[in-house]
Structure 1
């Protein structure tokens, strides 16, 4: 082993370790790996960024844009409306959803396909009284299985095709993946539909209104005159227990107290960090006359704005120099009075007098006979949170969303979008961070308050998908037809070899722009840039593995110690190793790392490289054991109420099926 091999293997081990650690985003790790190879002289400086012009990278970007066009035009909704049964039992519904997800994922981005179908699945689960996870996990696995059936179904297929092109002068065609991919997909789907629902852990939802996503963390302020002021924290918790809620933190004078003493007396303007189920949130707040922190801040800002306007009017009528100090004092008093009055009106909405009824006293202490009924106060508080123009909507953070790693304060969610972040649900974890400063993660479920249009705009820009029931819509029929036709023509051009895939789909993007299917200003929003950078950075690193002979070295070790020179065993070994890595690191990165090893293994055995490369393509797509192995697994983590260890119960049998069906099919379709 020479020095170049030692260096590239060291970089490779470090890169894989960082991928598995998951502390930094995959594109950051890939770029660091590339730059390290350049510094060590393993990748020539002039070739460092050749990966950005690689056909696989261009094709991935174009496919993402065309997939977005199908989604935005309503073409996918039209197909969903046609295919899904309107009234059917859980079995038929599950089968239809899983098959539709697989079909869509074969020709468009599978994360986009799942994001479109997930609200439909949750709506169906709610109507049929089925735990959401029982439908979401088969749906996600179906979308993953469908992606391996075509060249454009998933990025690893494009990467594998690129390595074959570099080796033989031509890559795999559009449907070269179909014989093996369809056989595995059908076997996997059959297992998921017939047996899978019994293996998915049951995560019941506590209420019928919201999707169970675990407990929410909510900030609530004790305003002046509320019944919570002056009470002991112990008494507050006793009241909250009636709504299945509890105080897990206290913020006083902007200082956080993680485990406050239960005998601590609460003061005006203390902020309580409350953990509550979605359906118990309203009653938990109203029972103690607490005000949501986001709502309180909004009221304060509004009052200050009105006071500032009042001050300007006074300045026009009076001498600025003489009455300047007096006007400021008046404005400050007006702001405080206006804010206090607005808060009181909001938190005491239940005092509204109804015809022929007595006024409900809200100043009663716990246990007082005049205390309002819990259901009535919860309903009144819910009305205060929602109106005809304002809604409470749950959204889930998509993988690679712009919101990941940032907080509500970072993006100024209130001032930029006019919406409030009321609560955050992070399954399996409890964060003591302030809501406004909590860093977001993929799969987090957010409870947003605002107009539907504002929340929709926020979701589109920041990468969040709504978890609300939504009616399927046809959109603009002409646009849907154009988007479908453009995608079909691009696929046909690539499938029949008229032009290379990268050119074909780039023409499709250009046509989408010319025909107005995609707006120029939103063109680049559809591209998953972290994936693009990941691919572009790792392609030169993988090339360095080949040129230094490191890939052959690893292949020789695997063949001599495990496969014992048996080609059939070697194909199965490559498939299993790739599949195992893909369960814990990005599938595109896995394919880029394993392709040189697969090529080296074929060379050592004097066999065709095609079955080995195909084994990498299949293994990189089959990540079913963990929520971090594939983006779709992460996407259902919160909405399904899953835990990290829930995936393997269904995922492990599917991976066994992949090996059992995949190896014989590989050797039959792609002989050694």
Structure 2
């Protein structure tokens, strides 16, 4: 083995060890490895940087914009509410989690899908008196499996397809993977439906306790001719919000207290919620509710530029010891006070009549520039924006869904490539103002793109130095190893890498090894490449291998052993099914 191959293998081992054992950011590690390969002369700059021009990586970048448009218009939330409904029992809840999640994840970013479903499932858990731990991990697993059904379902599929295009001149179509992906959804979904309840613990999530949070009273009004008119409180999903609760309803000047969940909502009802500041953010994302404060509608700020901000009044505040109305707060600060908290408790009474004091915490709706403008002014002691608090523009949700459908249809029928269809869809999201250019930039996760693109350098070094061929020889030391057994071996190695490092990096590292194994066996490389696609997505045994697993860790109150208890048998079942089916579709 040549010295360049030895250096390459040592670099790969160092990268794997650093990713698995340290907290250094993956993009820094991979960029450092790429820089080393260039400086050492193992790769030329052009060879090392090839990942940054790969069509798969560029497609992932554009799909971030598409997912952002779907989120900002509330399209995913609208679909989730329609599909999830209001189940009465745990079994019904499980079915309503598994089927829609797997279906949506085939065409949308599964991270976004899981993020939208988590609040709905937490609401179910509170209403049905179920532990969220019974539902949230199956949610993540269903999203992962569902993403394997199409080429755009997961970034791993796009990365491997990009490698196939650049190195072998072969491109997969939108539904090429469905022959194996759909059976995996059926097998994996059945397992989760039958055994998730038995294998997962009865544990509550690590939700913020309201009595320990700053408490506000937030008023919203049921919109005329909105989708909530005529629905009960429970059917509208307002019975148990994550960060607040419905205290009273003001109807035609009369206050209804301790309202039961079967109370029907009427147009013009003013709903009074009590809870943490995040409660206001949750209510902004409910289609059919509007801020009850008339001043909010007088704000001269575009819908997509609004956000929620907390501000603590300082000693130099201009309206000190004046009522909210007398302080002319809106015209002075271009912000509207939604609620006021004093000493961590809400202040009862009419908002406009409250006298403002030093230390009062204001919950404001204002422009996104408010924090930068007043962070260092003496009017406020502290100014902090609530993350992700811009209200969705539900009017454009059908348009965003139409753009997604157009992308899927044009790429599935072969009119355009995946990248071309994605570029047009992303451009349409911007042109129709489903999302602004500034927000689109913020949604593109550059660190993930850098990890993927930089890992291409490791894969290229493995191929050019012969290191991949050497690893393939070590794997095939067993005499007369059957192609099926070699395929299973490649699958298992990819799963191990995925659990230790990121799924995309694992796929890129295993690609040259899989191709070398196929060449030494004298068989087609396609089954081995497809196996990498499925194995790199099959991260069920740790919370670190896949982002959605990490997202449900806190809300579900999980421990590492919970992932192993349910994920290990699921990984075996999915692996056996995939290895059995792949050669039947892509023969050796």
Q: TM-score, normalising length from structure 2? A: 0.72
Q: Deviations over 1:55-82 (max 9, x none)?
A: 0111001111111111221222222232
Name the structure 2 match of 1:128. 128
Rg: which structure is higher? 1
- Structure 1 position 116, deviation (Å): 0.4
Cα distance in 2, alignment partners of residues 586 and 413 from structure 1 = 40
Q: State the shift of 1:474 in Å.
A: 8.7
Q: 1:47, CA displacement in angstroms? A: 3.6
Q: Distance in 1 between matches of 2:532 and 2:314?
A: 58
The corresponding residue for 2:529 is 613
2 CA distance for matches of 1:100 and 1:112?
A: 14
**Cα 1:143–1:298, aligned 2, differ >3 Å: closer, same or farther?**
closer
Distance 1:506 1:606 in 2: 38
Aligned to 2:315: 303
Report whether the alignment pairs 1:25 with 2:25: yes
CA distance in 2, matches of 1:182, 1:492: 19
Per-residue deviation, residues 598-650 of structure 1 (Å, max 9, x unmatched) = 11111110111111011111110011111111111111111111122221100
Q: 1:390 to 1:420 in 2, by over 3 A?
A: farther
Aligned to 1:491: 408
CA RMSD, aligned part only?
3.6
Q: 1:201 to 1:349 in 2, by over 3 A?
A: closer
Q: Distance in 2 between matches of 1:539 and 1:419?
A: 49
The C-alpha deviation readout for 1:75-120, integer Å capped at 9, x for no partner, is 2222223222324311111111121111111111111110000000
- The residue aligned with 2:152 is 152
User: Equivalents in 1 of 2:565, 2:108: separation in Å?
Assistant: 28
- Provide the residue aligned with 1:512 in structure 2: 429
Which of 407, 419, 424 is the equivalent residue of 1:502? 419
Any conservation in 2 of the 1:77–1:474 contact (CA below 8 Å)?
Answer: no
> Is contact 2:114-2:139 (8 Å) kept?
yes
> 2:455, 2:508 within 8 Å by CA — same for their partners in 1?
yes
Matching of residue 186 in structure 1 with residue 194 in structure 2? no
Q: What is the alpha-carbon distance in structure 2 between the residues aligned to residue 185 and residue 348 of structure 1?
A: 47
- Say whether 1:550 aligns with 2:467: yes
Change in Cα spacing, 1:215 to 1:610, as seen in structure 2 (3 Å) is farther
CA-to-aligned-CA distance 1:2-39 (integer Å, 9 cap, x gap): 01101111111111111112411111111111111101
Q: 2:578 maps to which residue?
A: 662
Name the CA shift for 1:481/1:201 in 2 (closer, same or farther; >3 Å). same
Q: Which moved more, 1:574-583 or 1:47-56?
A: 47-56
Displacement of 1:218: 9.5
1:560 aligns with 2:477: yes
Contact 1:579–1:620 under 8 Å retained in 2: yes
Q: 2:388 aligns with which of 452, 459, 464?
A: 459
* d(CA) in 2 for partners of 1:385, 1:96: 46
Partner Cα separation in structure 1 for residue 415 and residue 572 of structure 2: 38
Deviation for aligned residue 1:591 = 0.5
Maintained 8 Å contact 1:213/1:640: no
Q: Do residues 530 (structure 1) and 447 (structure 2) align? A: yes
Map 1:38-187 onto structure 2 (within 5 A).
38-187=38-187
**CA distance 1:34–1:305, shift in 2 (3 Å):** same
Q: 1:504 to 1:603 in 2, by over 3 A?
A: same
Q: Sort the Cα spacing of 1:577 and 1:597 in 2 relative to 1 into closer, same or farther, 3 A.
A: same
**Alignment match, 1:644:** 560
State the Cα distance separating 1:166 from its structure 2 match.
Answer: 3.0
Mark the CA change 1:667 to 1:64 in structure 2 (over 3 Å): closer, same or farther.
same
Gaps in structure 1 of 5+ consecutive residues: 206-210, 220-277, 280-296, 310-344, 353-383, 392-408, 422-448, 462-472
Q: Partner of 1:476 in structure 2?
A: 394
1:583-602 equivalence runs, <5 A: 583-602=499-518
Aligned partners of 1:622, 1:115: CA distance in 2, in Å? Answer: 19
Give the Cα separation in 2 of the matches to 1:20 and 1:215: 36
Cα 1:96–1:614, aligned 2, differ >3 Å: closer, same or farther?
Answer: same
Cα–Cα, structure 1 residues 49 and 298, in superposed 2: closer, same or farther, change >3 Å?
A: same
Q: 2:109·2:153 contact (CA, 8 Å) conserved in 1?
A: yes
- Quick one: distance in 1 between partners of 2:465 and 2:128? 58
2:543 equivalent in structure 1: 627
> Is the 8 Å Cα contact of residues 160 and 533 (structure 2) preserved in structure 1?
yes
The corresponding residue for 1:573 is 489
CA separation of 1:386 and 1:489: change in aligned 2, threshold 3 A: farther
8 A Cα contact 1:213 1:639, kept in partner: no
Query: 1: distance between equivalents of 2:75 and 2:359?
Result: 35
Provide, for residues 406-449 of structure 1, a one-character-per-residue CA deviation record: whole Å limited to 9, x for no partner: xxx9x999769x9999xxxxxxxxxxxxxxxxxxxxxxxxxxx9
Quote how far apart the aligned CAs of 1:540 are: 2.6
Does structure 1 conserve the Cα–Cα contact (< 8 Å) formed by 2:403 and 2:425? yes
Query: Cα deviations across residues 383-419 of structure 1 (Å, max 9, x unaligned)?
Result: x9999x649xxxxxxxxxxxxxxxxx9x999769x99
CA distance in 1, matches of 2:177, 2:574: 14
Structure 2: how far apart are the matches of 1:29 and 1:180? 34
Q: Counterparts of 1:481 and 1:348 in 2: how far apart (Å)?
A: 41
Distance in structure 2 (CA, Å) of the matches to 1:609 and 1:489? 33
Q: Is the 8 A contact 1:203 1:640 kept in 2?
A: yes
- Check conservation: 1:203, 1:641, Cα contact below 8 A: yes
CA contact (8 A) 1:163 1:171 kept: no
Alpha-carbon distance between aligned partners in 2 of 1:587 and 1:61, rounded to the nearest angstrom: 16
